[in-house]
Each structure stands twice: as structure tokens, then as C-alpha cells.
Structure 1
Amino acid sequence: MIYLTLLLTAIFLILSAIHIYWALGGEAGKVAAIPVKDNGQRSFSPSKTGTLAVAVALFCFAVLLFCIGVQSVTVLRPLGWLLALVLFLRAIGDFKLVGFFKRPSASVFAKNDSRFYSPLCLFLAAGVLYISF
């Protein structure tokens, strides 16, 4: 279990670092990370503050997992269950733009979401749930 904890912690730290890169003005990969509506327009334009907030949240998730899985802080387990639920719901999606059950789309985001993002969320959800029990 320690190796799974460290792997998931590392994934959250990497995702946090990517969001910090974007918040500081980095452009690589940004287009592929934002859902696109049917008319080809981005569904939203993330602000630097919002992107940084996501980075902080991802960092907190890494710390949470580390505390639950390595430090065995059992009082935090319900937060792990909640995080697993949120990640599972993200994998399922909104039935429109994100998740396994989104509408078909040829956008770069939609292709990456089907290949990488949603499966990663499902993997993270399962791993977080396993660590939290």
C-alpha cells in the first residue's frame, strides 16, 4: 500500500505543478486541458487565480493521501472517501463536455479526456478509496 500511496501522491504533485506552470503563464498543453462546446468555443477561460487554486487543491490532495497512507492518520479517512467520490464523479462526467459519458466530440480535449483524463480520474478514485479503507 505504501507504493500506491507514493504513486498517487506523486501524480497529484505533478498535476499541481502543471497547474502552477499554467498559472504563471505557461501555454504548453493548455489547449488540450479545457473542454470545448459544440460550437468550437472553450467552455470557460480559466483565470490565473482559479488555476492556482486548483494547483493548491491538488497539492492538498497529495498531502491528504500521504497523511492517510504513510502517516496512518485515520481521522482523515472520511476526507479520502470524499475525494474518491469526487474523482469518480469526474470520471463519469457531466454527460455533456467531460467524463466517460460525454457527448461525442472531435476536440483535442475530448480525445484526451477519453484516453487519459477520465481513466486517470477513475484510477485515482479507486486508489484513494483503497488507501482510505
Structure 2
Amino acid sequence: MQQLFIYLSVIILGLVSVLHFYWLFGGTWGFQSSLPEKVEGGTVFTPRGIETLIVAVGLIGAAFILLAQNNLIPFFLPNSFTKWSSIILTVIFLLRAIGDFKYLGFSKRIKNTNFSKYDTKLYTPLCLFLGLIFMTSWLF
């Protein structure tokens, strides 16, 4: 059962990475809904190309680490690098799920924007799920 969740997580990380590459090369579908919005209008930030590239590559790296830490890559065994990377990714995803106490996560106060609706229904639960999956990969 754990392997099923690992593979599901890897697929999710891969798809989100592909979406970031799509945005990097000029795609617009879903882009505006992925950016936190101010109450008075406009986005909190607009990522530059290099930032989008870092996230896209980082998501692929996270998928690889998850597979390696769970001994699902024949030529790459779990080691201290994959364990510590999994711990760091656990912290990143769980902190994202908790949020910044204003725009995102379970703690957000601004809840009436397009982004906040997606954040409540999709982004935050997904980050919680991924954080828990990464946690199980180094705990068990």
C-alpha cells in the first residue's frame, strides 16, 4: 500500500513539474490561479523564469529522492543524502501546508480570492499529503 502512495506522489510531482515547465515556456493555463492574490487586487508576487525553472527541476528531484529513499530505483539505494533530503522535503511541504498566516495554507486569513479557493481545495491538501508521504519515507 505504501508503494502505491509513493508512485502516486511521484506522478503528482512529475505532473506539477511539467506544469511549471509549461509556464516557463510561455503557457498560461492555470498560471493566474497558482499565484496568491492581494485583497486589493494583483498578485503577491510574479515568479521569474529562473524561479519557475528551479521549482520545476526541484519537483523532479523530489520525485527521484522519494523513489530512491524507498528503494524503488535499482541502481540507487537509500542513503544519508536521500534520508536528509526527505526530511527537508517533509519540512518544506508541511510548512507550506501550515501556511504563512496570511495568503496560503491552513492558516491563511485571506480567503475570498480565486487563489485561496484553489489553495483550500487543492494546493494545501496536496502539500499536506506530500509532506506526510515524505515523512513516512524516512520514518518507516
Q: TM-score scaled by structure 2? A: 0.90
Q: CA deviation at 1:39?
A: 1.3
Counterpart of 1:10 in structure 2 is: 11
Is 1:118 the counterpart of 2:119? The answer is no
Is 1:85 the counterpart of 2:86? The answer is no
What's the Cα RMSD here? 1.1
**Where does the alignment leave 5 or more consecutive residues of structure 2 unmatched?**
none
Counterpart of 2:78 in structure 1 is: 73
| One-letter amino acid of the counterpart of residue 88, structure 1 | L
Is 1:36 the counterpart of 2:42? The answer is no
CA distance in 1, matches of 2:7, 2:62: 12
| One-letter amino acid of the counterpart of residue 4, structure 1 | F
Counterpart of 1:104 in structure 2 is: 110
The DSSP-based 3-state class of the residue aligned with 1:105 is coil
CA distance in 2, matches of 1:17, 1:84: 21
Runs of 4+ in 1 over 2 A off after TM superposition: none
Is 1:23 the counterpart of 2:24? The answer is yes
Counterpart of 2:59 in structure 1 is: 58
Q: CA deviation at 1:104?
A: 3.0
- Cα shift readout 1:17-39 (whole Å, capped 9, x = no counterpart): 00000000000001100000121
Q: CA deviation at 1:48?
A: 1.7
Q: CA deviation at 1:58?
A: 0.6
Question: Would the aligned equivalents of 2:39 and 2:113 in 1 still touch at CA under 8 Å?
Answer: no
Q: CA deviation at 1:81?
A: 1.2
Per mean C-alpha deviation after superposition, the further-off stretch among 69-78 and 100-109 is: 69-78
- Cα shift readout 1:37-59 (whole Å, capped 9, x = no counterpart): 12111011111221111101111
CA distance in 2, matches of 1:78, 1:13: 21
Question: Would the aligned equivalents of 2:39 and 2:110 in 1 still touch at CA under 8 Å?
Answer: no
